[in-house]
Amino acid sequence: MTLSKLVIRNITRRRGRFIFTLLGITIGIASFVTFLSMGGSLKSEINRESAALGANLIVTPIGSCAYEQVSILTGEVLPSNITMENVAKIRGIKGMSAVPVLTEKTAITNRPVSVNGVDVAQMKGFKGWEVEKGAYFSEPGEAAAVVGFAAAELFKLDTGSTITVRGEKLQVKGVLKETGGRDDLTVFIPLPVAQRLYKTGDVVSYMAVKVENLALTDSYIQQIREATNLGVISDKQMLKSVLSIVGTVNITLQMIAAVSVLAAAFGIVNTMLTATYERKREIGVLQALGAKQSTIFGIFLLESGFYGILGGAIGVVVGLLVSTIAAPYISQNAFTSFVKSSGSGAMIDMKTVVGSILFSALVAIVAGVYPAWRAARLSPVEAISYE
Amino acid sequence: MKKQYVVLAVALVIGLVLGFALLSKGDAKALNVNDIGADPAAFTGTITVTGIMAGVSQYDKSVIGIMDIKELQCQSPNCNKIYIPIKVTGALPSVGDEIRATGKFEKNAQGYLFAAEKIKVVQNHKIGG
């Protein structure tokens, strides 16, 4: 009988114990992978949305917190108190182009959808939008809508369809080409129309700014602050600030998962110690046949390692499945809403898959050291005389 | 005979998991205050809204205001707090209670009022002392 066959036979001899010990490590690794893959997905979504925003600087009302910065990326409704006078002042600064955005929401068939009031001509050039179907706005104050690619698909909108925003029917004039960002799920209407419908007055929620010379970014920030007394952050600062909060949340979740892996490790210790006591006679026979202490130590270590590898592999599959299924339901917070919008919750990363299986194997091997040591140091007389 | 019990136990566990998943799916359809506050007229029929009980109307003690769950995290003075007025029949929830209210919007002279048919308190967030 080969060593591997002996290990598998020993482990599966007590099926109930084998299954429950395996379940422990499987659940631990599954929760670890779930949090890890969802965290990875969240980070990549944030990076993608930040890139899709296409701005070097964001002008927000003074005192905006990181949660409001996240709202810019998620398309949530923001406080609107940047006046058009401030918009004009920022537009007057040379070396950059600035577009104002009013973020609002409406619903189509009872499903919430983001509505952005934009300077239609300027925004098209700023974002580099192309029209997939129909036409773009022809006038700055045209009472019509242009919808993002995914929104058109989701709500079955086409050119000529009508949507009701704040009680007013607007005709869908065109559908934008897919951008890969939040714009795909947004309904765009001209800024004056949005201000009128939502009764916001002469204000916008934020301004996206593109600078001509990136080396002078700090100087532009200073100029905007001096001209308007508004908050200004660079895209990199915003990304850093959002990712740092997401990172803290991720680490906390991973710590919780690590505790469940630790609990599973104690389950392996318990199982292997029980096996050591039960198999004293077998150990004695092996010793009588000339097996070295290192061989017996190796057999027990391989057994616990087997739990780790098998439990890790099953845990990875379960974890990825759970994160994919759970993602659409996690939408109660600004950070996790990224996962919801991404369409796929789990980010299948080979590093996560291989790393988790190796981690599981390592934990199981470490858990098996003490029982293996106990088994190896049994004297042949003690072992063989065990009844 | 033993195998039958095992199969029965496994089926029971799967059933419970599926049941839980379906119930959770129903809960996930609740709308946030920030999703509906800007254009309540766009929501028709019976819907479920989730939010934090923020206070009681001074004019009508059966009307409460709820804010979005996200506002619990925003500490800046610039927070975008939108309140949705909810007409409650029966016991009022406490300030800080996270609730799920099922009902429909009704138009009145002041704007829109959410007439709740059912209110479920999920948990309390201990705000306002």
Whether residue B51 is contained in a domain is answered as yes
- Say if residue A229's pLDDT is above 60: yes
Would you call A183 helix, strand, or coil by DSSP? helix
With a CB cutoff of 8 Å and minimum separation 6, the contacts of B83 are B33, B37, B54, B55, B65, B66, B67
What's the rounded Cα separation, in Å, for the pair A188 and A127? 13
Interface of B with A in 51-70 (CB under 8 A): 69-70
Would you give the DSSP letter of residue B41?
G
A63: Cα within 13 Å, side-chain hemisphere: 11
| Structural domain contains residue B12 | no
pLDDT of res. A345:
46
CATH number at residue B72: 2.40.50.140
Tokens of A200: 């916001």
At B26, is the pLDDT very low, low, confident or very high (cuts 50, 70, 90)?
very low
Q: Which pLDDT belongs to residue B44? A: 92
From chain A residues 55-84, the ones with a CB under 8 A of any chain B CB are 61-65, 67-68, 71, 76-79, 81
Q: Following DSSP, what letter does each residue of B45-99 receive, concatenated?
A: SSEEEEEEEEEE-SS-TTEEEEE-GGGGT--STT-----EEEE--SSPPPTTEEE
- Phi and psi torsions of B46, nearest 5°: -85, 125
Domain count, chain B: 1
Once rounded to an integer, what is the mean pLDDT over residues A93-100?
Answer: 91
Which chain B residues have a beta carbon less than 8 Å from that of A187?
none
Which of A217-221, A260-264, A365-369 has the highest average model confidence (pLDDT)? A365-369
How far apart CA A115 and CA A165 sit, in angstroms, is 9
DSSP state of A177: P
From the number of C-beta atoms within 10 Å of its C-beta (0-12, 13-18, 19+), residue B101 rates as buried
Comparing A311 with A287, the larger pLDDT belongs to A311
- Of residues A51, A50, A69, A73, the one with CA closest to residue A60: A69
- Please indicate, yes or no, if residue B13 is contained in any of the structural domains: no
Compute the average pLDDT of residues A278-290.
83
Buried b (16+ CB within 10 A) or exposed e, B25-44: eeeeebbbbbbbbbbbbbbe
Interface check for B127 against chain A (CB to CB < 8 A): the answer is: no
Q: Which of A166, A325, A334 sits opposite B39 (nearest CB)?
A: A166
Q: What is the mean pLDDT of residues A43-54?
A: 78
Which pair of tokens denotes residue A110?
């009872």
Specify the pLDDT at position B18.
Answer: 60
Q: Does A168 touch chain B (CB under 8 A)?
A: no
d(CA A268, CA A314): 16
User: Which residues, listed in sequence order, are joined to residue A165 by a DSSP beta bridge?
Assistant: A168
Output helix, strand, coil percentages for chain A, rounded to the nearest 5: 60, 15, 20
Write out pLDDT tens, residues A156-214: 999 999 999 999 999 999 999 998 888 899 999 999 999 999 999 999 999 999 998 88
C-alpha torsion A351→A352→A356→A359, nearest 10: 50
Q: Which of B44, B69, B75 sits opposite A65 (nearest CB)?
A: B75
Cβ–Cβ under 8 Å, residues A113 and A185:
yes
Residue B2 lies in a domain: no
Q: What does the pLDDT read at residue A344? A: 46
**Tokens found for residue A109:** 């068939």
Minimum CA–CA partner of A106 in chain B: B39
Least confident of A32-36, A148-152, A344-348: A344-348
Domain that holds residue B49: 30-124
Please check whether residue B15 lies inside any domain of the structure: no
pLDDT band at A309 (very low <50, low <70, confident <90, very high): very high
Q: A46-60, A240-254, A266-280, B62-76 — which one is most confidently predicted on average?
A: A266-280
Q: What is the ipTM of this complex?
A: 0.76
**Is A128's Cβ below 8 Å from some Cβ in B?**
no
- Number of Cα atoms under 13 Å in the Cβ half of residue A362: 6
Neighbours of B3 (CB within 10 A): 7
Q: Within a domain: residue B5?
A: no
Q: How many pairs of residues across A and B have Cβ atoms under 8 Å apart?
A: 84
Residue B107, judged by CB atoms within 10 A of its CB (0-12, 13-18, 19+), counts as exposed
Helix (H) or strand (E) holding B10, with range, is helix B2-28
Helix axes A293-326, A350-376, angle to 10 degrees: 150
- C-alpha A247/C-alpha A140 separation (Å) is 41
**Interval A125-133 mean pLDDT:** 92
SS3 string, A347-375, reads CCCHHHHHHHHHHHHHHHHHHHHHHHHHH
The whole-number average pLDDT for the span B26-55 is 87
A110, B37: Cβ pair inside 8 Å?
no
Using a CB–CB cutoff of 8 Å, tell me whether B37 touches chain A.
Answer: yes
pLDDT of A386 reads 61
The pLDDT assigned to A311 comes to 93
Angle at alpha carbon of residue A137, lines to A171 and A51, rounded to 5°:
105
Q: Is the pLDDT of residue A270 over 60?
A: yes
Q: Is residue B80 part of a domain?
A: yes
**Cα→Cα distances A105→A92, B44, B73, Å:** 30, 15, 21
Which residues on chain A are in Cβ contact (under 8 Å) with B41? 164, 166-167
Q: What is the pLDDT of residue A331?
A: 47
Are A186 and A151 in contact by the 8 Å Cβ rule? The answer is yes
Crossing angle for the helix pair A15-53 and A350-376, to the nearest 10 degrees: 150
Listing DSSP states for A258-305 in one string gives HHHHHHHHHHHHHHHHHHHHHTHHHHHHHHHTT--HHHHHHHHHHHHH
